[in-house]
Amino acid sequence: MNATVIIPARYASTRLPGKMLLAETGRPLIAHVMESVAAARRVGRVVVATDDERIVAAVEAAGGEATLTSADCRTGSDRVAEAADRLGLPDDAVVVNVQGDEPEFPAWCVDAVVELLEGADAPMATLATPMTPDEADRPNMTKVVRGRDGHALYFSRVRIPHDRDGEGGVEYLLHHGVYAYRTGFLRTFATLESTPAERAEKLEQLRALEHGYRIAVGIVDYRGARIDTPEEYAAFVARTAR
């Protein structure tokens, strides 16, 4: 069964307002994301879920599909859940949540997270990659610790695990904000109360862990290139122009 990619794309952004519509490459940022993930082998449909008519218009002008969702969704996953309902996806359908500010997110990573979910003893799957101790100190880079069974133990914006005695040998993992879920679980997730760690860390995936649900974590060789600042967008434009 092919997955449906749903890209949550709200207009507001603290550090880069309206970034989904930035178009210095000749196309809006959101169009680059759609094009990248649509190349995945395991994807049958790509839909942008947004709270803004301007983004809907930009997506449709680029030949894509968009659905308008509520302006007060708690998180991107909640927006994806609302979109899945609007699309009428069945409970056993696979949905992949790809961030709307990663225009270079590779198609093979989408395939990887779909295949991870299909073979996992978990209702939700995500990806991570090794990072350095210096990178693990950066709060804008989310970290994950996983158990020997490949399931997430915790996610945080601070360095985890804490190497108390400085002995080394600690594996630091950069978490990529891509998720795969069965639609039935996604609907359940959207009904769960927000949890203390989720609110403190501002990381929606902690809601699943705090409510007792497993998250499978796969390791991939991809560093990530999110667009959060004007400087990061300028670097992306420069790469695209080469």
Q: What are the pLDDT digits (tens) for 143-163?
A: 999 999 999 999 999 999 999
Q: What is the mean pLDDT of the chain?
A: 95
Residues 83-132: pLDDT tens digits? 999 999 999 999 999 999 999 999 999 999 999 999 999 999 999 999 99
The answer on pLDDT for 202 being more than 70 is yes
The answer, yes or no, to whether the previous bond of 230 is cis (omega within 30 of 0) is: no
pTM above 0.85, yes or no: yes
Residue 17's contacts (CB-CB under 8 Å, 6 or more residues apart) are 11
Provide the token pair at 146: 């996983």
Range 181-202 average pLDDT: 97
Counting every residue, how long is the chain?
A: 242
Question: How wide is the angle at C-alpha 178 spanned by C-alphas 118 and 34, nearest 5°?
Answer: 105
* pLDDT confidence of residue 223: 87
Domain ranges of the chain: 3-241
Distance separating alpha carbons of residues 145 and 154, to the nearest angstrom: 6
Question: How many CB atoms sit inside 10 A of residue 14's CB?
Answer: 6
Amino acid at 190: A
Fold of 3-241: Spore Coat Polysaccharide Biosynthesis Protein SpsA; Chain A (3.90.550)
* pLDDT confidence of residue 200: 97
* pLDDT confidence of residue 242: 65
